Structures are given as structure tokens and as C-alpha cells.
Structure 1
Amino acid sequence: MRPAQVERIWTATASCWCRKKRPSAMASSDGVKVVDSGVQAALEKLRLGLPLGGRMKPTFEAMGRVLKTGAQLRFRTATGPDGKAWEKSWRAKNEGGQTLSLTRRLRNSLAYQATESSVAVGTNVIYAAIHQFGGVIRAKAGPFLSIPVTPAARAAGSPRNMTGLHVVQSLKGQFMLVDDKGVTQYLLKKQVTIPARPFLGVSDGDQKELLSIAEKHLQATWKR
């Protein structure tokens, strides 16, 4: 189930992953730690209590479902695992709607992979890491990045796919691409800063659910 070209952000009993590679601005990050010491201890008890040939995968699958659901719900609440609200995107502020939910591609790409020894929850969408950690995107192919600011510009994908655009400069020095009607379709910037909007991780409520899962599986093992 794990897509190709995926890297683990960290290695542990449970983890989150994003498709490589992470932007250089995020290189110092240690990743997203998911499981606390209480859950780790419960899992170790469960592992030691299993009979010969006993399986841990059902436990990790249950944990994967909790972590995936928690990550998906954060797109609805626009909050991180710590409960802090995401900074609203320009589109959400000016056009309405929810941040990081225009196409829901990122949310819908979330998946988990469980084995007998671990579970990983994450996505293979290439731009996931920049939203998870934040960072700076700089123009490389030309002097400017073209930032679409209208539905029509977003649908076109690139200024090359729109006709009648010309460059203007505002009184504040901002370069823009406007159409024949004078409507600004793209902002031209040398770089943009993307704020961190973490969706992978674990909330206090998630931790309680993970601990409960480990304890229930442990109790079920001892009742056999």
C-alpha cells in the first residue's frame, strides 16, 4: 500500500512519512513523533505477552486507522495535532472555503501501512512536506514564481495557458500579470514563504485512543 519514492521521516513503533524530498528549509526538522512512552510501554507488554506465533499487525492496523482519521479531520478543523489553528491561506481569506482543501487531494491521499512491527501513516503527494513543516519556495526556472490568485488562473495552471496577459507593477512595487480587463490573474514573486500547517502527528485524544488499543489487545491476549 505504501507508494513508491517514500521516505520515513523517523523510525519508531509508529511513524508518519511524506514523499521525498523535503525542502531544504526543513532539513533540520526531526520529523513527527507519534507515540508517547505510555503507548510504547503498552506495546512492549503486548509483544512480550503474545504466544509463539502471535500477531501484532492487527494492533498496528487499528492504530493506523486512528492516526489516519485524526490527520484527515485536521483538514476540516484547520488545526494541528497540538490544537493550534492553521494560518489561513490567501484563497481561504479572500474567496472563502477551507485552507488546504481546494481539491482535497492531499487529504484524500493519506494512507497507513501496518506490519507486524510498526505502522506508518502519511502521503506520497510531493508538496505534503512543505505544508507539514513550512518553508520557503524560490524561483528557479525564471526570475519569478507565478502565483495564481483567481479560479481562472488556477484552472489554467500556468500563465502560458492564458492569453492576453501583460506585466504591470503596483505603486508598492509588486509585479503582476493582468488580463485585458485589468483583472490581476497572477502575482509575480521571487520567493514565497509557506507557513507550517501540520496535519500528520498525534493529538492528546489520539494518544489516549492508541493507548486504549494497546491495552485492549493486551487484555484480549491474556484472556485466551
Structure 2
Amino acid sequence: MSGLALHTDLSALGRLQARMTRLTRAERRPLLENAGAVLESSARRRIQSDKRGPDDLPWRDWSPAYAETRHSGQSLLSAEGGLLDSLRAEVRGEEVEVGSNLVYAAVHQFGGAEVGMPIPARPYLGVSPADKTEILSVVDDWADALLGDLK
């Protein structure tokens, strides 16, 4: 019979256990703050320049009648800058929330049909594939910083 015997070095398991303990006991607020900053930055970029949702689908343009009421320098979701200025990432316990406290922010995110307004959804909040990649990098950096001296 052929086979493979694996002998475990107990000191390696001890190091692994120490790393796992450090990760589970670590203060996660800095990690959540950094992840929130990634998502807040993405939402700001969507409003300022991308004009696309986290799914990379472009937002619908203004209706021709509404477009006639807009002034130079105004664009989708950016008239006076109120929505952009209101975006915040907030850590609450073991979660981070990114959003706005403005009443009309939800109408722009989800559309106005539910409240009787003819405004299409223009999602600016959410997690895109690029956001996921960047957040994973933030998590890696956080874990590396915690575990750097346990090699």
C-alpha cells in the first residue's frame, strides 16, 4: 500500500492558534472605518463622475422637460451638492453603514414610484466588484498589521 504520513509540528499549531486568537480579539473598528471609507469614496465617485450604479449600469438621463429646468454645472444627483455632502460612513458595533440622512436620498437610490414621484432609481450606494476587491485588500492589510510579529 502506498500512502503519505503527515507529522504535525506542534509549535506550528501553537503559532496558528496564537494568530487566530489575536484576530478574534482584535479591535475591528479601524477595519470597519477603512472599509466604510472605501464605500463612501465609491458612492461619491458615482455621484461626481461615473453616473453609474455599483452594478456598472448607467443611470437614466433626465427627462427632456426636466433637463430644461437644470442650470449649467448641474448633473444627475448633483445640483447644489447636498447629497454628496451628506454621505457618511458610520461604524455601529460590528457593522459599518454608508449613506445619507437626507429624505430624498432614498428616492434617488430606489426610485420614486413607491412615493408617487416619477424619478427613476439611480443607485449610488452599494458594493461593486471593484469595491469588494479593495475591501479584501483592506482586510488583508489589517490582518497583516496584527499578525506581523507572529511569524
TM-score by length of 2: 0.73
Match of 1:106 among 62, 83, 88: 83
Match of 1:199 among 120, 124, 148: 124
Aligned residues: 125
Deviation at 1:88, TM superposition (A): 1.5
For the residues of structure 2 that align with 1:208 and 1:49, how far apart are their CA atoms? Answer: 25
For the residues of structure 1 that align with 2:59 and 2:43, how far apart are their CA atoms? Answer: 13
Q: Which has the higher helix share?
A: 2
Match of 2:40 among 68, 71, 81: 68
Identical residues among aligned pairs (%): 34
Q: Which residue of 2 aligns with 1:40?
A: none
Deviation at 1:89, TM superposition (A): 2.0
Instruction: Please say if residues 134 and 197 of structure 1, whose CA atoms lie closer than 8 Å, have aligned partners that are also in contact.
Output: yes
The equivalences for 1:39-50 within 5 A come to 48-50=20-22
Q: Which has the higher strand share?
A: 1
For the residues of structure 2 that align with 1:198 and 1:106, how far apart are their CA atoms? Answer: 13
TM-score by length of 1: 0.51
Deviation sequence 1:91-142 (CA, Å, 0-9, x none): 774345311111110111000112451111111101111111113243xxxx
Instruction: Please say if residues 59 and 217 of structure 1, whose CA atoms lie closer than 8 Å, have aligned partners that are also in contact.
Output: yes
Structure 1: segments with no counterpart, 5+ residues: 1-46, 139-191
Per the alignment, in what secondary structure is the counterpart of residue 147 of structure 2?
A: helix
User: What is the RMSD of the two structures over their aligned residues, measured on CA atoms?
Assistant: 2.3
Per the alignment, in what secondary structure is the counterpart of residue 133 of structure 2?
A: helix
Match of 2:134 among 170, 184, 209: 209
Deviation sequence 1:166-196 (CA, Å, 0-9, x none): xxxxxxxxxxxxxxxxxxxxxxxxxx42110
Structure 2: segments with no counterpart, 5+ residues: 1-18
